[in-house]
A and B are shown apart, each in its own frame.
Chain A
Amino acid sequence: MVDDTSSDAEIIAASLIDPDCFGLLFERHFQAVFSYAVRSIGVVEGEEIASEVFVQAFSSRRRFDLGYRSARPWLLGIASNLVSTRYRSFERRNRAHRRAFGRDYETEEFETEVADRVDASSHSERARAALAALRPPERTVVLLFIFGGLSYQEIADVLDLREGTVKSRLSRGRANLRNALADIGEQWGNDE
Chain B
Amino acid sequence: MSEHSDPFEILRDAVPDVSPNQLQTTAARDALQEAIATEVRSGLAPVGVRFMPRVVVVSMMFLFAVVSLSLVLSRDDSATATLQEIAHAARQAESADIPTDQFLFRESLERNLRIVRGSELGLEREFAAYSLGTERSIWRNPAVRFVQMRMVNRDPVFYDDDVARGYFSQGMEDVDALGQLVTERFTDVADPILETAWSESPEQLRSQIIDAIGRGDTGSTTSLMLLDFAIDMLAEPIHPSVRGAVIELLATLDLNQVTRNADGSVRLQIEDHDGVPTRHTIVLRADGTLASREIALLEADPELGLPAGTVTSSATYSRWTEVADIQP
B21–chain A nearest beta-carbon distance, Å: 10
Q: Are A19 and B7 in contact (CB under 8 A)?
A: no
Residues of A within 8 A of B45 (CB): 16-17, 19
Q: Which of B91-99, B107-115, B243-251, B257-265 contacts A (4 or more CB under 8 A)?
A: B107-115
User: Is A35 among interface residues, defined by CB-CB distance under 8 A?
Assistant: yes
> Which partner residue on chain B sits nearest A186 by CB separation?
B4
Q: Which of A3-11, A65-73, A124-132 contacts B (4 or more CB under 8 A)?
A: A124-132
User: Is B70 among interface residues, defined by CB-CB distance under 8 A?
Assistant: no
Q: C-beta contact mask, A139-162 vs B, less than 8 Å → 1, else 0?
A: 111100111000000000011110
Q: C-beta contact mask, B7-25 vs A, less than 8 Å → 1, else 0?
A: 1101111111111100011
> Which partner residue on chain B sits nearest A96 by CB separation?
B112
Q: Which of B61-69, B71-79, B185-193 contacts A (4 or more CB under 8 A)?
A: B185-193
Q: Are A137 and B20 in contact (CB under 8 A)?
A: no
Residues of A within 8 A of B276 (CB): 89
User: Is B28 among interface residues, defined by CB-CB distance under 8 A?
Assistant: yes
**A188→B151 CA distance, assembly (Å):** 40
> Which partner residue on chain B sits nearest A50 by CB separation?
B28
User: Is B213 among interface residues, defined by CB-CB distance under 8 A?
Assistant: yes
Residues of A within 8 A of B190 (CB): 105-106
The residue that B8 contacts in the complex, of A58, A123, A142, A158, with Cβ under 8 A, is: A142
A124–chain B nearest beta-carbon distance, Å: 5
**A148→B180 CA distance, assembly (Å):** 47
Q: Are A81 and B218 in contact (CB under 8 A)?
A: yes
Q: Which of B35-43, B157-165, B197-205 contacts A (4 or more CB under 8 A)?
A: B35-43
User: Is B226 among interface residues, defined by CB-CB distance under 8 A?
Assistant: no
Residues of B within 8 A of A109 (CB): 186
Q: Which of B307-328 contact A (CB under 8 A)?
A: 312-313, 315
User: Is A177 among interface residues, defined by CB-CB distance under 8 A?
Assistant: yes
Q: C-beta contact mask, A91-126 vs B, less than 8 Å → 1, else 0?
A: 001111101111001110100000000000001101
**A138→B147 CA distance, assembly (Å):** 25
Residues of B within 8 A of A20 (CB): 36, 40
**A65→B6 CA distance, assembly (Å):** 35
The residue that B186 contacts in the complex, of A22, A107, A140, with Cβ under 8 A, is: A107
Given contacts A84-B215, A136-B214, A146-B12, contact A100 B153 (CB under 8 A): yes
User: Is A47 among interface residues, defined by CB-CB distance under 8 A?
Assistant: yes
**A136→B225 CA distance, assembly (Å):** 12
B298–chain A nearest beta-carbon distance, Å: 14
Binding site for B on A (CB under 8 A): 16-17, 19-20, 22-23, 26, 30-31, 34-35, 38-39, 43, 47, 50-52, 54-55, 58-59, 62, 77, 81, 84-85, 88-89, 93-97, 99-102, 105-107, 109, 123-124, 126-128, 130-131, 135-142, 145-147, 158-161, 165, 169, 174, 177-178, 180-181, 184-186, 188-189
8 A-B pairs besides A34-B24, A58-B39 with CB distance below 8 A are A55-B32, A100-B134, A105-B189, A107-B186, A137-B213, A147-B12, A160-B218, A185-B10
- Between A and B, 11 residue pairs with Cβ closer than 8 Å are A17-B47, A50-B28, A96-B112, A102-B151, A102-B184, A107-B186, A145-B8, A147-B15, A181-B7, A181-B10, A181-B14
